[in-house]
Each structure stands twice: as structure tokens, then as C-alpha cells.
Amino acid sequence: MQNNTTSSQYRWVILILCVLCFLFSFITRFTWPPLISVIVPDLGMNMGQAGAFMSAFYIGYVATQIPAGLLADRFGVRIILSVCLILEGLATASFSLIGDYQLGFNLRIVAGLGSGAVFSSCSRALVEWFPPREQGLAFGILTAAPSSGILITNILVPYLNLIFGWRGAFQAVGMLTITAGVLVFFLMKVNCRFEQKRENIITGLKYIFGNRDLMLLSAAGFFLMWLQLGTATWANVYIKGLGFSVREAGTVMAYYGLGGAIAPLVSGIISDRLGRRKPLVIIAFILVVPFTILFGYQTRLELLYLTGFAGGFSAYLANPQLTVLISQTAGITRAATANGVANCLFQMASLMSPWVIGQVIDFTGNFNYVWWILAAGPLLALLVIVRVYEERVH
């Protein structure tokens, strides 16, 4: 059970550590998109292979989702998070040594394996340390990390590329991720006694896969992730293709990331006050469809900034609500496993979307259909989320 005194004193440290873990998970994966236009000609790759590098990351990422969630629910998150962050950092730094497509593909898989433990473990930690009435804010801050990762990488990575080249950029990101793993090892704590509540693994998985609402939430997350990862992977290439520089494209995506970083915070605060999550998810899915399509029709830099910010805000508005709904539906003893299963299903879209969009670009030679294909994701998510039952939190 939770110790309220300890919780009140240390829960914000836990939140900072979780944000750090989640942030570096996204910085490592999104170091690749801003450098696609630099590395592809250097290594003699095509756009389909470039998209496959993002998909490769998610092969490893998906593979560790459920095992990591099961282990976190049974034994706690400290060792799992620290070891996996260090593994992710080593693989990212080693990417600087590649000379061909195959080695890069394999290293991206390894980086994904390390990153795969982060979401479920951090979700478990926050459910342990924060009461339900504060979970919207806590998860809002946590889920600002994906778009913050886009924001940081699109500012930092072009600068590192300019100073050190693309190989030096990967080395720097890798070393920072390793440092984050060491901090987690020494500072992360648990707030419950695992020996008193171990559940049979099969029983827990049967409950999760048999729960209608958990499966509907997982489907909604899949369709949303289709949009998010497709945009994060290919928007830089699209903007550069309009005649802008790597740095200008990075600035547009920094605005996208800024919108996505603000949205979960706003969403979390509002949902805690309302005591409901589902209405905000519905609003987010309605907003993001037109903003995504509108972004794809802009050719002026100022309008790309504006629609990029709006697209990022609407794309990430639902993130904390989906995670809180999954955690509260599953309960504290299954929170990591449920989020591991859900995120595993979410990330199937991450495996598919970058590769599919890359194939569309190679086949058509342009981005005319890309934004419509991406916007179809949240439209389908809207049809799913309306069927989810939610209890009001008091």
C-alpha cells in the first residue's frame, strides 16, 4: 500500500525521473528524422529504407512492452528502467559507426529494445505515487515527453550535425541517455510491497486481453500513433522538399513539438478538474484531422509554423487521457502490464506507418496523399473511443 507521507515528499522526484526516462526514449528515436536528408545520400539509401530505420526501432520497442510491464508489476521499475536506458544509449551512440544499411537497421532494433521498458514502467511508478485525482496532471507532464522529444531533437540535432556531423550527433545523444540511466539507478524508489501482491502472469494477461474497454483504448491508441509517428518521421523531409533548409525544417517541427508539449499539460489539468478523461479524447480526435490535412497544403514558412503548432497541440492532446484511462481501468496491481500490452498494440502502428508512408512517397514521388492517409488514423480512433465506458473520478 502507499505511504502517504513518503508519497507527498518524494512523488515529484519520481515524476521528474519518469519524465527524464520518457524524454530520452523519444530523443533517441527522433534523432533520426531530422538527419534523413543528410544520411540517406551519404550512405546511398532510398526513402523506403529511411522509413524502415524508424520501423526497426519499433520492432525492438514492441518486443519488450509486455515482458517489461509484467516484470515492473512484479519486481518494481528501478533496475528495469536503468538497464534499458543504458542499453538504448549504447546502441544510439554506436549508430555513429555504421557504414551500411543493415548495421544501422540492427542497431535501431537494439535501441528500441532498450526503450520498450520505459512507458509501462513509468506508468506503474506514477500510479503508485500519485492518487487518482492527481493522475491527469502527472500523466500530462509525463506524456509531454514525446512532443518535447520532437521539440528538443529538432533544435538540438541540426545544431549537433552542423558542429560535429551526423555521427557526432548520435554519439552525443547516446551518452546523454546513458547518463539518464545512471541517475535512475541511484534515485528511483518504489512505493508498494511487491511480495504481498504477486498475481499469476496468465491470469493478469487474460484479464487485460478479455477487458473490452482496454482493447478499445488500445485500438484508439493504435490509430492515433499511426498519425503521430508518420508525421514525426516524414514532416522534416516534406518541409525540406519545399526548398527549406534542414534547420528551417527543424524549426517547423520544433513548433509542432512545442504544441505537443503544451497539450498534455493543459489536457491533464482540465481532466483532473472535470473528473473525466473521455470527452477530451473525443475533442482531440476531432481537431487533429483537419489540422493535419491543412498542414500538408502549406508552402510558406510562417504558415508551416502556425499549422505545425496547431497540429502538434491537437495530435498530443489525448495522450495523457488514454494512459490514465488504461491505468484506472486495469487498477494499480496491473497498471504496468496493462500499459505494456496497450503500448505494444499502439506501437504496431509505429512499425507500419513510417514504412508505409515511405513506400507511398517512393511510389508517387510526392506527398500529395500522405497527409490524408495519416489523418485517417484519428478519424478511425474517434469511432472506437465513443464506445469506451468511463467512471467519473471524484
Q: Are 109 and 57 in contact (CB under 8 A)?
A: yes
- Record the cell numbers describing residue 216, joined without a space: 478499445
Integer Cα distance of 210 and 175 in angstroms = 41
Single-letter amino acid, residue 364: T
Q: Are 70 and 121 in contact (CB under 8 A)?
A: no
φ/ψ (deg, to 5) at 143: -80, 5
Neighbours of 243 (CB within 10 A): 9
In angstroms, the Cα distances linking 3 to 186, 191, 194 are 20, 7, 14
- Record the cell numbers describing residue 387, joined without a space: 464506445
Integer Cα distance of 240 and 235 in angstroms = 9
Q: Which residue has the cell 515511405?
A: 358
Q: Are 140 and 126 in contact (CB under 8 A)?
A: no
- Record the cell numbers describing residue 138, joined without a space: 502527472
The SS3 assignment for 331 reads coil
Helix 246-274 to helix 319-330 angle (10° resolution) is 40
Q: Are 283 and 169 in contact (CB under 8 A)?
A: no
The SS3 assignment for 370 reads helix
- Record the cell numbers describing residue 174, joined without a space: 547516446
Give the residue ranges of DSSP H helices in the chain. 4-30, 36-43, 47-63, 65-75, 78-94, 101-115, 118-129, 135-142, 145-187, 201-210, 212-241, 246-274, 278-295, 301-316, 319-330, 335-346, 348-364, 370-385
Question: Tens digit of pLDDT per residue, the chain (394 long)?
Answer: 444 544 578 999 999 999 999 999 989 988 998 898 899 999 888 888 888 898 899 889 888 988 988 888 877 889 999 999 999 999 999 999 998 899 999 999 999 999 988 988 998 899 889 988 889 899 999 988 777 877 788 889 989 999 999 999 999 999 999 999 999 999 998 776 544 455 667 777 888 999 999 999 999 999 999 999 899 888 988 998 898 887 898 889 889 988 988 999 899 999 888 888 899 999 999 999 999 999 999 989 999 999 999 999 999 999 889 999 998 898 888 888 898 899 888 878 877 888 899 888 888 888 889 999 999 999 999 999 999 988 765 4
- Record the cell numbers describing residue 233, joined without a space: 518521421
